[in-house]
Structure 1
Amino acid sequence: MTPEQGTPAAGRRRPRRKRVVLADRYRTAPMSRTIMELEEQTSVGEMVVGHLVRAQLRSALVLTGLVAVGLFGLPLLFYLLPSLGDAVIFGVRLPWLALGVLPYPFMVLIGYWYSRSAARHERDFLHMIER
């Protein structure tokens, strides 16, 4: 087959692959130094990443505690105040509404809050690297 038919000629060599890296000339010296420390996993890089991990863990634990208090607090509230269990709203007893309907929007709100918090921590991490 000839080169015109779409197959390479036997004598031709394929071009060498070239590794494409972010343009180093656009990086500032402190930023490139921080990125290099992150890539090489030096103590400074570990400290910066550790800060991000701690911030995300702190957010997760706070919101998990909020969910635990909210979800386990409702049954405890109805147990401690039985008069609330007798209340009727729209023909349905309050405990059924509070335990069967309220947790779902609450969990969606907590998930949205955590997602925003995680994005904020990552943005702060990137700004800290760029400084």
Structure 2
Amino acid sequence: MTKHTGPPGQPDQPQPAERDAWLPVSTSAASRKNRRRRVVLADPRGRGRVLRTIIELEEQTSVGEKLIRDLIRTQLRTGLALGGGTLLLLASLPVAFYLLPSLAEVQLLGVRLPWLLLGLLPFPLCYGVGYAYRRLAEKHEHDFVSSVDR
């Protein structure tokens, strides 16, 4: 290295001869050009279609609106099926106890069956239905994202 010639606090700048000292003597501009390599980090095929779909979603074109509408319709169908089924099951219990009075007289552990089914059953049932709906909603969203990324 040469003497420090720059402003205080600045590192020494090597001279051109020192800077290229590590290169072999026979290097020329042509041989340096041949050493360049192209690095491909991703496959460019299919990227245009994904980008076009994302643009359609962001700009809310008719295709993007249809994709979103289909996702919402799928989520709604799943919610109505699970929620409606749960509601139907829970609403049918009092009707069953009304129509079958002998069923209402059954006791388990000293507690009548209607109290057990109507007092305790809804809580784990609603938790399980909520868990199942969340899993199905995440699956539908994952399917939507993967269909957009294709």
Give TM class, smaller chain.
0.7 to 0.9
Separation in 1 of the partners of 2:128 and 2:99? 27
Alignment partner of 2:135 out of 101, 116, 125: 116
Q: Percent identity?
A: 50
Q: TM-score, normalised by structure 2?
A: 0.68
Structure 1 equivalent of residue 51 of structure 2: 32
Runs of 4 or more off by more than 3 Å in structure 1? none
Cα RMSD after superposing both structures: 1.5
Please list every run of 5 or more consecutive structure 2 residues that lacks an aligned counterpart in the other structure: 1-42
Match for 1:130: what amino acid? D
- Larger helix share, 1 or 2: 1
1:93-112 aligned within 5 A: 93-112=112-131
Please list every run of 5 or more consecutive structure 1 residues that lacks an aligned counterpart in the other structure: 1-24
Separation in 1 of the partners of 2:83 and 2:131? 13
| 1:28, distance to aligned residue in structure 2 (A) | 1.3
Q: TM-score, normalised by structure 1?
A: 0.78
Separation in 2 of the partners of 1:101 and 1:75? 14
User: Which structure is richer in relative contact order (CA contacts within 8 A, separation 6 or more)?
Assistant: 1
Question: Number of matched residues?
Answer: 107
Separation in 1 of the partners of 2:83 and 2:111? 29
